[in-house]
């Protein structure tokens, strides 16, 4: 974790993705090949040549075709997909923004235990990575100042949004919608240092830190949208139903028992698992789709969730993109049924979600894929930095409780944000010489 963060904090790569999966950390640096999907065009870069063309039909087919045509041995792509990619797949209107951005890195570093595997196209850059990794020195945590975020911003508007969605549910338009709110971060933050501090305070299913095409983000994903193994095994991990984690063992036990007995939370979780089963039955052999875990408790930083895992085995003719399309976006971040939930979300949320509730993902030549649900994150774009959190609204929802759930989730990230040290701020202003500072 420290090595991965230090590598990108060194400034060696202007484009990078740090991705923590079940088997360790990966750092993708630079661009060997790239695909950027927008509502009307797909832009592909390989061998130094960029081609942009319009697309029709299935947008994911364009991405799959590009990746399968790469003449790079054992490639692995890293990047992200926007929540609104689901709109494009469904043929719904989408604003003019990036829907998916993947890069095959120029240099890839995979860190596990005490070992680092460095692969790349440029021997000199690989040597710099090795030199950087072996020369990392820890910084004192006291060099960083905590940043305070007001998680009450937008509280009244959120209560009103919940009431609006409840009216739609009671009118029979849908069963569930996940409604989110944004909270601005008005102070400058050091993203690598905040990622490191946040990861130490969280217990995510996946974590990530990225800087791609003007978008920066860090996050501690509570669940995976889809995991595909090279042999065709598929799984999805829906989480729905939340209570706080306070650090007091007796209080946390009381909250956990309350969660396990709450009819609203049990209903919300059960319908989410049912949707996940139905969705995986498409790309998988139906008889192989089973619920492997059901309503177990998963602790994720400042919250605890009801969690289940649905697994299956893909049909021979299916690909990881088939599985991805079947379950994306996560039912736990959209709603039931999904298309009605899209309408409800669009009616009450004032901005496109972008990466929020989309995925940070990897996909490889061997047919494997790992896509983490992009929640519990910090986002920075066009000079704006913000947090975002939502709650699942069902007929039994109470607006004040749903608002409190968003507060609980925001605290997973808000309490770990760090401002840059004074000398790094001076570098940014041009008042001091540039030097490498490692986290």
Tens digits of per-residue pLDDT, 176-186?
A: 999 999 999 99
Confidence label for 345 from pLDDT (cuts 50, 70 and 90): very high
Catalytic residue among 20, 34, 108, 223: 223
251-258, long-range: CB < 8 A, 24+ apart: 252/304, 255/304, 256/297, 256/304
At residue 419, the pLDDT reads 95
Model confidence at 91, pLDDT cuts 50, 70, 90, reads confident
Give me the mean pLDDT over the 20-36 stretch: 96
DSSP state of 139: P
Query: What does the block give as tokens for 394?
Result: 């069902």
Strand partners, 45: 34, 50
* E strand intervals along 280-412: 290-300, 303-313, 335-336, 359-364, 369-373, 377-381, 384-393
Q: How far apart are CA 16 and CA 323, in angstroms?
A: 26
The predicted model gives 94-100 an average pLDDT of 91
Mean pLDDT of the chain: 92
Which tens digit of pLDDT belongs to each residue from 103-162?
999 999 999 988 999 999 999 999 999 999 998 876 666 678 999 999 999 999 999 999
d(CA 157, CA 306): 27
What is the model's pLDDT at position 436? 35
SS3 labels along 37-95:
ECCCEEEEEECCEEEEEECCCCHHHHHHHHHHCCCCCCCEEEEEECCCHHHHHCCCCCC
CA pair distance 326, 263, nearest whole angstrom: 28
- pTM score: 0.92
Residue 145: Cβ within 10 Å count: 15
Q: What does the DSSP assignment read for 110-124?
A: EEETTEEEEEES-HH
- Whether residue 400 lies in the annotated active site: no
Express each pLDDT in 205-224 by its tens digit: 999 999 999 999 999 999 99
Place of tokens 């989309």: 358
> What pLDDT shows up at residue 426?
47
First to last CA, the chain: 10
Read off the pLDDT band of 439 (50, 70, 90).
Answer: very low
Domain boundaries, the chain: 2-133+150-429
pLDDT for residue 92? 87
pLDDT at 431 over 90: no
The SS3 call for residue 375 is coil
The predicted structure's pLDDT at residue 140: 60
Q: Which helix (H) or strand (E) holds 191?
A: helix 191-201
Convert the pLDDT of each residue in 290-312 to its tens digit. Answer: 999 999 999 888 889 899 999 99
Considering the domain 2-133+150-429, what is its CATH architecture?
4-Layer Sandwich (3.60)
Work out the burial of residue 2: count CB atoms within 10 Å of its CB; fewer than 13 is exposed, 13-18 middle, 19 or more buried. Answer: middle
Q: Residue 142: its pLDDT value, please?
A: 65
CA distance 251 to 247: 8
Supply the pLDDT for residue 424: 52
Neighbours of 58 (CB within 10 A): 14
Q: Determine what percent of the chain is predicted with pLDDT higher than 90.
A: 85
- pLDDT tops 80 at residue 433: no
How many CB atoms lie under 10 A from the CB of residue 367? 15
111 — phi, psi (to 5°)? -115, 125
């Amino acid at each position: 974790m420290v090595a991965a963060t230090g590598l990108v904090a060194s400034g060696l790569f202007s484009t990078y993705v740090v991705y923590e999966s079940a088997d360790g950390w990966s750092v993708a640096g630079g661009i060997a090949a790239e695909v950027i999907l927008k509502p009307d065009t797909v832009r592909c870069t390989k061998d130094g040549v960029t081609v942009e063309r319009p697309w029709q039909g299935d947008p994911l087919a364009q991405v799959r075709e590009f990746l399968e045509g790469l003449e790079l041995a054992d490639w692995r792509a890293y990047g992200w997909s926007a929540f609104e990619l689901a709109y494009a797949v469904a043929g719904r209107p989408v604003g003019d923004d990036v829907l998916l951005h993947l890069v095959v890195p120029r240099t890839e570093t995979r860190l596990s235990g005490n070992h680092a595997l460095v692969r790349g196209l440029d021997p000199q850059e690989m040597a710099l990575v090795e030199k950087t990794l072996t020369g990392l020195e820890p910084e004192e945590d006291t060099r960083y100042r905590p940043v305070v975020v007001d998680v009450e911003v937008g509280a009244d508007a959120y209560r009103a949004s919940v009431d609006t969605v409840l009216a739609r549910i009671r009118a029979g338009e849908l069963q569930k919608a996940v409604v989110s709110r944004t909270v601005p971060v008005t102070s400058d933050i050091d993203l690598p240092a905040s990622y490191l501090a946040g990861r130490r305070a969280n217990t995510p299913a996946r974590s990530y830190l990225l800087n791609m095409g003007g978008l920066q983000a860090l996050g501690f994903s509570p669940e995976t949208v889809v995991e595909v193994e090279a042999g065709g095994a598929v799984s999805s991990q829906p989480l729905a139903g939340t209570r706080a984690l306070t650090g007091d063992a007796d209080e946390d036990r009381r909250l956990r028992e309350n969660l396990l007995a709450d009819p609203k939370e049990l209903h919300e979780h059960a319908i989410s698992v049912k949707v996940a089963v139905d969705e995986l039955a498409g790309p998988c052999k139906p008889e192989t789709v089973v619920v492997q875990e059901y309503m177990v408790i998963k602790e994720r930083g400042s919250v605890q969730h009801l969690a289940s895992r649905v697994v299956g085995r893909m049909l021979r003719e299916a690909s990881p993109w088939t599985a991805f399309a079947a379950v994306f976006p996560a039912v736990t971040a959209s709603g039931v049924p999904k298309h009605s939930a899209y309408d409800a979300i669009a009616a009450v949320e004032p901005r496109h979600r972008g990466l929020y509730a989309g995925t940070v993902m990897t996909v490889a030549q061997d047919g494997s894929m790992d896509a983490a649900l992009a929640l519990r994150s910090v986002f920075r774009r066009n000079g704006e930095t913000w947090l975002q959190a939502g709650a699942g609204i069902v007929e039994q929802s109470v607006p004040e409780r749903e608002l409190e759930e968003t507060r609980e989730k925001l605290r997973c990230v808000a309490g770990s944000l760090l401002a840059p040290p004074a000398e790094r701020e001076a570098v940014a202003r041009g008042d001091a010489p540039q030097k490498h500072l490692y986290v």
